[in-house]
Amino acid sequence: MSDSASTLEAIISQEYQHGFETSVEADTLPRGLSEETVRMISAKKNEPEFLLEWRLAAFRRWLDMKPPEWASVHHPPIDYQDIIYYSAPKSQKDGPKSLEEVDPELLKTYEKLGIPLHERAILAGVAVDAVFDSVSVATTFKDKLAEKGIIFCSFSEAVQEHPELVRQYLGSVVPVQDNFYAALNSAVFSDGSFVYIPPGVRCPMELSTYFRINAKNTGQFERTLIIADRDSYVSYLEGCTAPMRDENQLHAAVVELVALENAQIKYSTVQNWYPGDKEGRGGIYNFVTKRGDCRGAHSKISWTQVETGSAITWKYPSVILRGDHSVGEFYSVALTNHRQQADTGTKMIHMGKNTRSTIISKGISAGYGHQAYRGLVRIARAAQNARNYTQCDSLLLGDRCAAHTFPYIEVKNASAKVEHEASTSRIGEDQLFFCRQRGLTMEDAVSMIVNGFCKEVFKELPMEFAVEAQKLLGVSLEGSVG
Amino acid sequence: MSTAIAHYQSEFERLGSLLPWQDSPQWQEWRRSGWAHFASLGFPTTRHEEWKYTSLAALEKLALSCAPAAPEAPQPTWDSLKARAVLPQARYRAVFVDGRFSPQLSQLDGLPAGIAVRPLSALSVRDSLGLQVPLQAVRARTPFAGLNAAFMAEGAWITAAAEASLDDPLLILYVTTRGGQAQHVVNAYHLAAGSRVAVAEQYLGLTDEAYFVNQVAGVRLETGAQLSHVKLQQEGGRAYHIGALQASQQGGSRFESHSFALSGAFGRNDMETALLEPGASVVMNGLYRVASREFQDFHTCIRHESPDCTSDEYFKGVLDGSGRAVFNGKIVVAQDAQHTASRQSNHNLLLSDQAEVDTKPQLEIFADDVKCSHGATVGQLDEAQLFYLRSRGLDPDHARTLLIEAFALDLLSSIGHAELRAAMDHLMRGHAHV
């Protein structure tokens, strides 16, 4: 009896599944940020002169900038001098050429996370550029991709081997002075992924990367750059988990997408970082700048995100529709439970003729969660026949949560058609009653209704992500109904 | 201190002794705090979120006189005004010319029992203090409401005793005949339990010179009171009109507000209502029409502070020439305002490539058992509909006018008061030609 009680206890207190920590010796810079830190990061990574200059320019801009205050999120001020800006696993220095050379501790971590690295990677048909803290450890499928001329590597590797591409595209979508966190990232970014799809190539597999924040107090500053050249196609997956800890961690990533003529980029994210405990202690601060540039005619960029983690999310994946006939899409499910806060949405900037954009945003707020959709649809004067459809719905679970909608619509062209719809409601008693009387438990009923609510977004996700995302919602909502 | 603030400061010092109720300490304090509010905020710039799309730079440059018109100034006649008035046959009317009450043009005899309509200038100090009740909340709403509190000298004070009703709609007409003036006018409504009032506020510009109407309205509706309110802006081609309205609604009260911004170089309205007790309901509708280089801006806010209240908000815009319009509609549902039903929509018709609309429907919801929705669209005349009308023999201009009229007049059906609805319908049909 007492045995089963303690087992039950153990199950209940199991708050965050992926909360373990790998102790790997890390090569870490001291806390704090100065021009010296930026120079050291650049030197450690053996970067060319132009990149150092670029970082320094960003750093100088950053010094004059203030953290944004307009978002409806609340957190104590962040001490940017109390962060370690660089930490690389020690074993990286020898530069592992294959999986065998990789630190077994690291491999174990990935195993626990269920990353399809190793043989499983081949079976799953996924190439993984796994980022452990700040430096890429292993990249698989490179050869297979290389055959087609696709470059899929860590950002540091791209800097060494394709500096001309990096130089041409880095910062061309998100300029260093874009916003406070983007400037910070530009100054101190450690690593990330780099993808280049040559003209006419359809990437044969989903490219995937797993981010994982490890080593205490290390803010991660990822930099991702994806370039789809003319007539190419790529689908990119990003998924995240992070170990549990009490101190808030800052994550300020920048993702830049460039789609040239006729190219298509599909970028999917499942974000499940540590959201903090029920009282709102700990958790990741996720301040991300994601932007795509439809530079060529007939290009298309599609963002799909499922945001269930992080204590605070500040994220607006956007598309600049520069090319004529280009298409931008944004599909989002954001869930805030306990004390989580999310201020998320998108920007669709229509500049080319006959551009189209679709925004589907589903927000679910439970417990004391606070959530805001903040979006901008701008139709520039020259954007003839632009079309936008926006739908943002919020679902409220519990009487202490909140959902806000701030859509900005700016239209300067009379041929534009812009539609915006939003609704906020809670799960209908009648829907619940129907499910319950068919024998479903309360939790299953809620989970089913919530998944139905999000269906339009989930169907945009690649298959394996869609399954994962549905499970994730169920898990994240645990304890919010009763 | 900016030159604009300095200008108003010197006006404030110059006119201080001429403003009404000077010997009342309550009013001295009222004006002082209003001035302090304006002086501390100054003219908002486009860096201010609430004024992001609205530039006041041109207004700031005008050095306008805040003194009311000289009483001996020539007055228009009612016969000349009648043709433009929304309610030409109004049984009751209060007419103000260049910011001053005109007893000759007004007609306030024989009001139903319990209903009082008085110009501010006719109020004794003792009677005037009641004004502070409905105006209390609005004076800090915007910098200009503060400026109004400092300078207010004229306007209409409408009260209704319990269960009293004014069914023949009252016309409050503000006419501007000359430029160079800043008018700070006030309309205050205090409706006691169960009373009913219908009113049309009309702002009419008869000059092409620049002037500024800085208007404030305070509304207080006690339990079960009903106010049908139409505000009509037909300002002059170089006129600035800034309005602020704040209503507070007790249980079961109903506020129907219909705003029509039909002309004027620059218009800005900040409207807010608070639904304070169960059963209160509000309809906040509006139409803005801009052509050539005109600008209209509506910022509305509906606060659901209590359970079981409903709100409906419906704004439409017709934009032509290089006209610009801004709509920002906010619905706030407080934590305990369960069973709130709220609907909001904003539809815009863009007729020219030079026109621009910026719209932002906003929901802030802190309660879970609510049904709230909003929608916004921007579009143009439907080619298929135009084709249909032309295939029936209508010329292009006529077909266009008909469709624009249909788009705009659709709003009128929501005016509950039959006489007001008919009057607006008559006026709008003559005005749909953009």
| pLDDT of residue B362 exceeding 80 | yes
Given this model, what pLDDT does residue A87 score? 67
Choose the closest CB to A420 out of B368, B371, B376: B376
C-alpha to C-alpha distance for A165 and B25, rounded to whole angstroms: 73
pLDDT band of B336, cuts 50, 70, 90:
confident
C-alpha to C-alpha distance for B220 and B248, rounded to whole angstroms: 5
- For residue A305, give the DSSP letter: E
Surface of A (417-446) touching B: CB under 8 A? 417-426
Distance from CA of A54 to the nearest CA of B (A): 29
pLDDT band of A271, cuts 50, 70, 90:
confident
Mean pLDDT, residues B279-287: 96
Given CB atoms, is A68 within the 8 Å cutoff of chain B?
no
When mean pLDDT is compared over A56-60, A399-403, B53-57, B199-203, the highest value belongs to B199-203
Mean pLDDT, residues A166-175: 91
Given this model, what pLDDT does residue A110 score? 53
Closest CA to B127 of B116, B137, B138: B116
Distance from CA of A447 to the nearest CA of B (A): 17
| pLDDT of residue B262 exceeding 50 | yes
pLDDT tens-place string over residues A194-220: 899 999 999 888 887 654 444 443 457
Q: Which of A71-75, A104-108, A376-380, B92-96 bottoms out in mean pLDDT, i.e. has the lowest?
A: A104-108
pLDDT band of A118, cuts 50, 70, 90:
very low
DSSP E strand boundaries for A127-197: 127-132, 135-139, 151-154, 193-197
Given CB atoms, is B350 within the 8 Å cutoff of chain A?
yes
Given this model, what pLDDT does residue B71 score? 67
Given this model, what pLDDT does residue A91 score? 41
User: Would the pTM of this model clear 0.80, i.e. be above it?
Assistant: yes
Mean pLDDT, residues B167-192: 94
Chain B residues near residue A422 by CB distance under 8 angstroms: 361, 363, 373-375
| pLDDT of residue B285 exceeding 80 | yes
pLDDT band of A106, cuts 50, 70, 90:
low
The runs of H, that is alpha helices, within B92-191 are 125-128, 132-135, 143-151
Average pLDDT of chain A is: 79
Choose the closest CB to A409 out of B49, B358, B365: B358
Instruction: Determine which of B350, B370, B382, B400 to mutate to test the interface with A (most A C-beta atoms within 10 Å).
Output: B350
| Distance from the first to the final alpha carbon of chain A | 26
Bridge partners, B289 (sequence order): B318
| Residue predicted with more confidence, A453 or A137 | A453
Asked whether the beta carbons of B247 and B272 are under 8 A apart, the reply is: yes
Q: Which residue of B has its CA nearest to A72?
A: B364
How much of chain A, in percent, has pLDDT values that exceed 70? 76
Given this model, what pLDDT does residue B428 score? 87
ipTM: 0.76
Instruction: Determine which of B322, B354, B378, B383 to mutate to test the interface with A (most A C-beta atoms within 10 Å).
Output: B378
| pLDDT of residue A245 exceeding 70 | no
Q: Which residue of B has its CA nearest to A380?
A: B356
Given this model, what pLDDT does residue B39 score? 92
Given CB atoms, is B312 within the 8 Å cutoff of chain A?
no
| pLDDT of residue A409 exceeding 80 | yes
Chain B residues near residue A418 by CB distance under 8 angstroms: 376-379
| Residue predicted with more confidence, A19 or B255 | B255
Closest CA to B390 of B379, B380, B401: B401
Mean pLDDT, residues B201-224: 95
Q: How many beta-carbon pairs below 8 A join chains A and B?
A: 114
Q: Do A399 and B49 touch (CB under 8 A)?
A: no
pLDDT band of A31, cuts 50, 70, 90:
confident
Choose the closest CB to A422 out of B358, B363, B377: B363
Choose the closest CB to B360 out of A381, A394, A406: A406
C-alpha to C-alpha distance for A357 and B2, rounded to whole angstroms: 44
Mean pLDDT, residues A274-296: 84
Mean pLDDT, residues B174-182: 92
| Residue predicted with more confidence, B135 or A144 | B135
What is the Rg, in whole angstroms, of the alpha carbon atoms belonging to chain A? 22
pLDDT band of A266, cuts 50, 70, 90:
very high
Mean pLDDT, residues B420-430: 89
| pLDDT of residue A247 exceeding 70 | no
pLDDT band of B340, cuts 50, 70, 90:
very high
Given this model, what pLDDT does residue A100 score? 56
pLDDT band of A272, cuts 50, 70, 90:
confident
Interhelix angle B396-409/B418-429, rounded to 10 degrees, is: 160
Chain B residues near residue A408 by CB distance under 8 angstroms: 358, 360
Asked whether the beta carbons of B213 and B235 are under 8 A apart, the reply is: yes
B299 class by beta-carbon count within 10 Å (0-12 exposed, 13-18 middle, 19+ buried) = buried
Q: Do B359 and A409 touch (CB under 8 A)?
A: yes
Choose the closest CB to A404 out of B356, B365, B369: B365
Interhelix angle B383-391/B396-409, rounded to 10 degrees, is: 120
Q: Do B348 and A411 touch (CB under 8 A)?
A: yes
| Residue predicted with more confidence, A179 or A120 | A179
pLDDT tens-place string over residues A316-350: 999 999 999 999 999 999 988 888 889 999 999 99
pLDDT band of A426, cuts 50, 70, 90:
confident
Given this model, what pLDDT does residue A18 score? 55
Average pLDDT of chain B is: 92
Q: Match 């921007």 to its residue by tokens.
A: B378
Mean pLDDT, residues B78-104: 92
Choose the closest CB to A423 out of B364, B373, B379: B373
Distance from CA of A337 to the nearest CA of B (A): 14
Chain A residues near residue B380 by CB distance under 8 angstroms: 414-417
How much of chain B, in percent, has pLDDT values that exceed 90? 74
C-alpha to C-alpha distance for A130 and A108, rounded to whole angstroms: 13
Q: Which of A268-282, B169-183, B414-428 bottoms out in mean pLDDT, i.e. has the lowest?
A: A268-282
Chain B residues near residue A404 by CB distance under 8 angstroms: 362-365
Mean pLDDT, residues B132-154: 92
pLDDT tens-place string over residues B185-205: 999 999 999 999 999 999 999
Choose the closest CB to B378 out of A398, A406, A416: A416
Q: Which of A143-157, A347-361, B91-105 bottoms out in mean pLDDT, i.e. has the lowest?
A: A143-157
Surface of A (364-383) touching B: CB under 8 A? 379, 381
C-alpha to C-alpha distance for B416 and B30, rounded to whole angstroms: 36
How much of chain A, in percent, has pLDDT values that exceed 90? 29
- Structural domain spans, chain B: 3-277, 383-434
From residue B205, give the alpha-carbon distance in Å to each of A466, B96, B144. 61, 12, 20
Distance from CA of B49 to the nearest CA of A (A): 9
C-alpha to C-alpha distance for B359 and A420, rounded to whole angstroms: 10
Given this model, what pLDDT does residue A121 score? 42
pLDDT band of A432, cuts 50, 70, 90:
confident
Instruction: Determine which of B299, B326, B365, B381 to mutate to test the interface with A (most A C-beta atoms within 10 Å).
Output: B365
